[in-house]
Amino acid sequence: MLQTKRLNAGYKELHILFDVDATINSKGITAVVGPNGSGKSTFLKAIFGLATVHSGKVEYNGEDITKVPPHNRTKMGIAYLPQVDNVFSNLTVEENLKIAGYTLEKTELKDRIDLALDVFPELQNFMKRKAGTLSGGERQFLAIATALVRKSEFLMLDEPTAQLSPKFAEHVFDKIVELRDKLKLTILLVEQNVQRALEISDNAYLLVSGRVAFDGKANELLEHEKFEKLCMGIQD
C-alpha cells in the first residue's frame, strides 16, 4: 500500500500539489484523472522522487520514502513509466529489457525477461531491433515490459495511451487489466481517456488545480451526476 500524507510538491519553487492525501490500495488499479494542468503527472513524479516535495510524506508499505532516491525506490518495487522517452531509443529491445533488470542477478533477470515476454509476446519478434524504430504502441508495450522485468509490484503509468491509435490504445488497456488480474500488480494510472480509465479502475482520484476534488470508487465517479463538470474542473 502506498500513501501520501498532506503532500505539497512541485518543481523547485513552483508549487503544483496542495495537501494531497491519497491511499493507493494493493493489487488494484487506481486512476488519477483531472483537467490539463491539474498536477496528475506531478503527483506520480512526486511519489517516485522526481519532483520537489515541499512538505508532507510519501509512505510505501508503512515506510517513509520521501527522501529515498529514485533508483532505490526502483529496488523497493516501485516503477514509474513517463509519458514520453520511456524507453532507450538507441538500445535494442533486448538491451532495454536487460537494463530494466539492472539490479537483479543473472538467473533472476532471465526469468523476469521470460515473464515479461509471456505478457508481451509481440516483443519477441523485435529483440534485436533498436527501440527507436518501434511504433508508438510497441514502444509502450516495451516500456511496461521493462517495469515487469524490474520486479515492480507498484506500477505508475503516465498516460500510456497518449498518441496511440484507438485500436492500439484498447490493446494497452487490456494489458493493464491483465497485469492486475494475472500478476496481481498495484497500478496507479494517469490517463487522458477518463471514461476508459475509470471503467477498468477500482478506485479513482480526481485532481483539480493540484487538490483532491474526489476520492472514492472509480464507478462512483463514473456514475456521478456531475461527472463531466467535475472532470473539467468546473465546480458549482
Partner 1 sequence: MAFEAEVLEGAIIYSNLLVLLSIGLTITYITTAVPNFAQGSFAVFGSYIALTMLRLFGIHPYYSIPIALIFGGLLGVAVYLFILKPLIDREAEIVILMIATLALDLILLGFLGAYSDYLGGITKKAAKKFIFTPYDFNIGNISAIFIVSIIVIAIILASLFLLLYKTKFGVALRASMENPALAEIMGVNVEYTRIFSWFLSGSLATVAGCLLPFRQEIVPLTGSIIIVSIFAASIVGGLASIYGALIGGYIVGISESLVTYQLSTILGSGVLVYSKVVSLIVLVVMLILAPQGLTGVKWRKIKWLKSILS
Closer residue to partner 1 in complex, CB, 84/234: 84
Take residue 230 and report the three cell numbers written for it. Answer: 467535475
Closer residue to partner 1 in complex, CB, 18/141: 141
Residue 108 as a binder of partner 1 (CB under 8 A): the answer is: no
From residue 55, alpha-carbon distances to 4, 22, 178, 210, 235 in Å are 11, 15, 36, 14, 27
Closer residue to partner 1 in complex, CB, 70/121: 70
Closer residue to partner 1 in complex, CB, 80/120: 80
Of the candidates 190, 175, 154, 185, which has an alpha carbon nearest to the alpha carbon of residue 48?
154
Of the candidates 169, 190, 177, 230, which has an alpha carbon nearest to the alpha carbon of residue 47?
190
Of the candidates 49, 37, 38, 36, which has an alpha carbon nearest to the alpha carbon of residue 2?
49
Footprint (CB under 8 A) of partner 1, residues 144-173: 146, 150
Residue 52 CB, nearest approach to partner 1 (Å):
13
Residue 88 as a binder of partner 1 (CB under 8 A): the answer is: yes
Residue 88 CB, nearest approach to partner 1 (Å):
5
Residue 115 as a binder of partner 1 (CB under 8 A): the answer is: no
Closer residue to partner 1 in complex, CB, 100/189: 100
- Residues 9, 42: Cα–Cα separation, whole Å: 8
Residue 207 as a binder of partner 1 (CB under 8 A): the answer is: no
Give the binding range for partner 1 (CB under 8 A) out of 25-33, 60-68, 72-80, 221-229: 72-80
From residue 158, alpha-carbon distances to 43, 111, 112, 161, 187 in Å are 10, 26, 23, 9, 11
Helices and strands, counts by H and E, the chain = 9, 10
Of the candidates 84, 79, 34, which has an alpha carbon nearest to the alpha carbon of residue 191?
34
Take residue 153 and report the three cell numbers written for it. Answer: 509490484
Residue 187 CB, nearest approach to partner 1 (Å):
16
Which of residues 22, 100, 144, 222 is near partner 1 by CB under 8 A?
Answer: 100
- Lookup result for grid cell 522485468: 149
Closer residue to partner 1 in complex, CB, 129/224: 129
Closer residue to partner 1 in complex, CB, 104/222: 104
- Residues 24, 212: Cα–Cα separation, whole Å: 14
Residue 98 as a binder of partner 1 (CB under 8 A): the answer is: yes
Footprint (CB under 8 A) of partner 1, residues 168-187: none
Contact set with partner 1 (CB under 8 A): 48, 50, 69-71, 74-75, 79-80, 82, 85-91, 95, 98-100, 102-103, 146, 150
